[in-house]
């Protein structure tokens, strides 16, 4: 008499990779970069159209407030979706361990064999980890998730909004403090230097080539400033 067939084990998305410890830092760098570029582009465009401080100040402050809210909300929604996915994966793995423990044990041993362990060693490791904390073992090896360290959307949103504000301070000061004839040039130089720093930081966080990241953000920022300056200048002449 044969045993009852156990449920067929579905394939798990083993390639999911979560770096929650660096999530807030990544959001912070991106927020600062966006604050620098978007606010600088706007105030440079207005400054190209008029030398009056009033319109420049109003446009800059509005951009800073709207941008910080937008960045924080966008990051919250994005990370919340990621967190929901992680919780769903954890719940799915817990259910599979409860309903098909044999298949899960065999899968865990197979994953360790794929990492280079011998069949006997992989089996021993899988059994010992399963007896200690089966869920944690599967989450770590299969999904690279630590259930005690799931991403926090509030941390990411706060870091993004705050860093946007910090980044926006630079172009605001650069456009308001110098005399009218130096405003645009000063802002341009300050923004390029600041973007080079954020580009280096983003590359350091992601472990990517520094020069490529710096060139990418500085060239992009320079183009944004040039375009908005040209539009502002044309509109200023037309008015």
Per-residue pLDDT at 16 exceeds 50: no
Average pLDDT, the chain: 80
Q: At what angle do helices 20-49 and 183-206 cross, to 10 degrees?
A: 160
Per-residue pLDDT at 13 exceeds 60: no
pLDDT at site 9:
45
Identify the band that residue 186 occupies on the pLDDT scale cut at 50, 70 and 90.
very high
Structural domain boundaries of the chain? 20-232
Q: What Å distances lie between residue 154 and 25, 68, 193, CA to CA? A: 13, 14, 30
The CA distance from 28 to 207, in Å, is: 16
From 17-31, 41-55, 92-106, the region with the lowest mean pLDDT: 17-31
Per-residue pLDDT at 226 exceeds 70: yes
From 119-133, 151-165, 177-191, 198-212, the region with the lowest mean pLDDT: 119-133
Per-residue pLDDT at 14 exceeds 70: no
What average pLDDT does the segment 43-55 reach? 91
Contact predicate 167/202, CB 8 Å: no
Mapping DSSP to helix (H, G, I), strand (E, B) and coil, where does residue 146 land?
A: coil
Identify the band that residue 148 occupies on the pLDDT scale cut at 50, 70 and 90.
low
pLDDT tens per residue across span 88-107 = 878 887 887 778 888 877 77
Contact predicate 67/39, CB 8 Å: yes
pLDDT at site 190:
93
Per-residue pLDDT at 5 exceeds 80: no
Most confident listed range (11-20, 54-63, 93-102):
54-63
């Amino acid at each position: 008499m044969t045993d009852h067939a156990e449920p067929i084990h579905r394939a798990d998305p083993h390639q999911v990779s979560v770096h929650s410890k660096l999530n807030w830092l990544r959001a912070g760098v991106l927020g600062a970069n966006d604050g620098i570029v978007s606010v600088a582009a706007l105030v440079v465009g207005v400054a190209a159209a008029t030398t009056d401080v009033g319109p420049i100040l109003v446009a800059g402050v509005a951009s800073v407030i709207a941008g910080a809210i937008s960045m924080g909300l966008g990051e919250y929604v994005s990370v919340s979706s990621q967190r929901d996915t992680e919780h769903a994966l954890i719940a799915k793995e817990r259910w599979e361990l409860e309903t098909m423990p044999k298949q899960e044990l065999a899968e865990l041993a197979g994953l360790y064999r794929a990492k280079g362990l011998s069949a006997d060693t992989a089996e021993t490791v899988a059994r010992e980890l399963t007896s200690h904390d089966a869920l944690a073992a599967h989450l770590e090896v299969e999904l690279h998730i630590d259930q005690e360290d799931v991403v926090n959307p509030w941390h990411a949103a706060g870091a993004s909004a705050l860093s946007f504000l910090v980044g926006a301070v630079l172009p605001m000061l650069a456009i308001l403090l110098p005399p009218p004839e130096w405003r645009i040039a000063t802002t341009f130089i300050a923004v390029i230097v600041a973007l080079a720093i954020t580009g280096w930081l983003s590359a350091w966080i992601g472990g990517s080539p520094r020069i490529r990241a710096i060139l990418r953000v500085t060239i992009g920022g320079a183009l944004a400033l040039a375009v908005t300056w040209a539009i502002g200048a044309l509109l200023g002449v037309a008015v």
